[in-house]
Chains A and B, each alone.
Chain A
Amino acid sequence: MVSIWFFIGISLAVNGALILAAGIYELVHPPENPSVVLFNLHASVWWGALLLLAGLAYLFKFAPQRKT
C-alpha cells in the first residue's frame, strides 16, 4: 500500500512549487503597491522552496517502490 507520507510528500511538493513560482514571479515583477506587509522579505520564495524540498524528501523516502 502507498504510504500516507507519500501523499504528504505530493501535497508539500506541489504546493511548494506553486508558491515558489508565485514568489519568483513577484520577485521579477514586483507590484507597485504590495498588498502585504514585509513584502521585502519575499516569504513566498523561501517558504515555497522549503515546502518543495520537504515534499521532495518525503516523495523520495516513501516512494512506493522503496522499502522503508
Chain B
Amino acid sequence: MMPLSAAVVPTHLVHLAPVDLIIVVFYFVLVLSIGWYLKGRANTGEDFFMAGREMTAWVAGLSFLSANLGALELMGWAGSAYQYGILAAHWYWIGAIPAMLFLALVMMPFYYISKTHSVPGYLQLRFGEPSRALSAVSFAFMTVLMSGVNMFAMAKVMQIVLGWDINFSIWISSLTVAIYVTLGGLRSAIFNEVLQFFLIWAGALLIPILGLYEAGGWTNLKILIAHRASEQYVHLWAGLGSFSNNPMGINWVGIVFGLGAVISMGYWTTDFLVVQRILAAKDIRSAEMAPIIGAGFKMIVPIIVILPGLLGLAVLPEKLVPESLAAATGAHSYNDVLPLMLARYCGPGLLGLGVTALIAGFMSGMAGNVSAFTTVWTYDIYRPFINRKGSDHHYVNVGRWTTILGVLISVGTAYLVMQFASIMDYVQALFSFFIAPLFGTVVIGMLWKRATGPGGFFGLLCGTLCSIGMWTWVKLDPSALAYVALSPHAKGLAQDMFQALWSFITCVVVTVVVSLATKPMPDSQLSGLVYGLTEVPSIGDVPLYQKPLFWAGVVTVVFIALNIIFW
C-alpha cells in the first residue's frame, strides 16, 4: 500500500463543481438506501454473516475481486507503475491469477463442503482449537487495525486531492459503513462491493482511453516512455534476470516463488476478507466459478491502474517524485499520478464520478474488513471462548454490536496513526507476518492427511515467528536484506517476497516434522476436510461453457498470452 506523509500538504489537486458534489452525495444516499432495504434480510446468523449463502457466481466473483480493489490499491499501484513501469502488473497477473484459479479448483471444494463460516473455522475443524485461536485472534485484530490505517490514509488522500478536512472524511465514511453493514450484514457489504466495481470502471476507464488517444497509441506510448524513463519500463520479464537490471530491484525468483507461489496464494486463498465472499456462494459450482470470474476481471484491472501510471510517465509535463521528497518540497508524488490524470482529462461530472469511484473503493474496502472482523470475532472468538450457549439471535446481535465496535476501533486507530505516523508501517508489517505461513498451514491441511493438530499449530507459529524475526533483523540492520533476499542488489519490495518465501518454507518444514513425530489423526475425523478422504459433490450435468474447469482453461490461456505479449 502507498505510504503517505503528513509533513507537507500541497494545494489540493482537483476542484469539484456542483454537479460533481451531487454525484458524490448521490452515492452516499444510494449505499445507505441499499443498507436500509436489506435490513429485513439479515435476521439469522446465516443471513447476517454469510449473506444467506445464496449469492450467484457473478455477484460472489465481483465482490471477491472488489474487496481487494480499494482506492489505496488503485492509487498506490498506479503510482508504482509510474515508478517501476509495467513490472507493477505482476501483482495483477502472476501475483493473482494462479492463486485465484488454485482457490477455485483445489481449495474451494474443501471450504465449501466443510460449511465453515471462516478460514479460522476451517483450521479448527482440521487442526483443532489452538490453531483456530492463533489465526482468529491475529486476523481479527490485524484486520480492524488495517481498516483504521486505510481510513487515515484515505482521509489524507481526500485532504490532498480535494482539500477535505480529515475529521470530516473519517467520520462521514465510517458512519456510513457502520450503518449499512450493521443493517444488512454481509449481504449489504457484498451489494455495495458490486456497485463499487461498476463505479470504479465507469469512473476510471476514460483515463486510459483518452490517455492512449493523447499519446498516439500503445506503440507511441512505449517510445515516449523509453525516451523519458527507460525501455525496461515496458517489459514484464525481460529485465528480471538479475536484481540490478530492472527498476524494482528484484529478480524472477522473487516474483515467481515469493509473489506468485506464496504471497498471492496466501492472500487470495486464506485471507478471510476475500474468501468470505466466495463462502456466500449459493452452490458448489458458483463457489468454484466465482474466483474464476474474479480472475477474468483481475487480468484487465491493469487497464485502469497500471496504464494510467504509464501514461502519466509519458504525458504529464511535470516529473513526479518519491513521497519523502514530495513531503519536503511540496511537489507531487508518484501516488498522485491517478488523481493528476483524472484532473487532466475529466471535466465537471466525470470528475465527480472519478472521485466517487475512489470514495466507493475506500468504503467498500472498509466494509469488507469490518464484516470479516465481525464474523471471525463472533464465530471464532466469542462463541468458542466466551459464550458457547447463545441463541442464533444472540449471535446476530453480537455481530451487529461488533460491527459498530469494529468501526470505532478503526476510527481510534486512524486517530492514533494521525499522532504517530510510524504505527502505519508497523501495522502493515504485522498483517504480512501471518499471511504466508497461514497459506502453508491451510494447504498442507487440505492436501496431506498425515498433518496433525500439533503439526499445524507449531508450523503456523514458527512460520509467523520466522517472518517477524526477519523483519526485525532487517529493521535493526538494513544490510541484512542482502542475506534475506540472497543478493546485495535487492531493494525493499524484494524483502517482502523473500520474507514470505522463507516463512512459508519454515511453516511447511515444521508442520511436516512435528506431524511425523505425533500421532496421526483418524481418517473418520478428516472426512470432508482433506484431499483423498473427501467426496467432492458433482457440479451436475452442465454444458461445457458452464464448467469451472473450462473457464479456468480460458483464463489460463489469456494469462499466458498477456505475459508473452508484454514480455
Contacts and interface: CB of A to CB of B under 8 A. Distances in A.
Interface of A: 1-2, 4, 7-8, 10-12, 14-15, 18-23, 26, 34-39, 41, 43-44, 47-48, 51
B187 to A, nearest CB: 9
A4 B59 contact: yes
Contacts of A41: 210, 213
B194 A38 contact: no
Interface string B342-361: 01111111101100100000
B345 A18 contact: no
Interface stretch (B128-136, B195-203, B480-488): B195-203
B22 interface: yes
A7 B191 contact: yes
Interface of B: 17, 19, 22-23, 26-27, 30, 34, 37, 41, 59, 191, 194-195, 198-199, 202, 206, 210, 213-214, 343-350, 352-353, 356
The SS class assigned to the B binding surface is helix
The 5 closest A-B pairs by CB, nearest first: A22-B349, A19-B349, A22-B348, A22-B19, A36-B347
B23 A8 contact: no
B452 to A, nearest CB: 43
A44 B202 contact: no
A38 to B, nearest CB: 5
A38 B212 CA distance: 12
Nearest to A51: B202
B344 A36 contact: yes
B209 to A, nearest CB: 8
27 contacts: A1-B41, A7-B30, A7-B195, A8-B194, A8-B198, A11-B30, A11-B199, A12-B202, A15-B23, A15-B26, A15-B202, A18-B19, A18-B26, A18-B349, A19-B349, A19-B350, A19-B353, A22-B347, A22-B349, A22-B350, A36-B343, A39-B347, A41-B213, A43-B210, A44-B347, A44-B348, A44-B350
Q: Is the interface of A mostly helix, strand, loop or mixed?
A: helix
Contacts of B27: 11
B345 A43 contact: yes
A51 B201 CA distance: 11
Contact of A14 (B26, B34, B198, B346): B26
Given A15-B26, A26-B347, A43 B206 contact: yes
A2 B356 CA distance: 24
A18 B350 CA distance: 9
Q: Which of B17, B19, B213 has the most CB of A within 10 A?
A: B19
Contact of B191 (A4, A20, A34, A47): A4
Instruction: From A8, A10, A11, A48, name the one whose CB has the most chain B CB atoms within 10 angstroms.
Output: A11
Given A12-B198, A18-B19, A22-B349, 8 more contacts: A4-B195, A11-B198, A15-B23, A35-B347, A37-B345, A43-B345, A44-B347, A48-B350
B345 A38 contact: yes
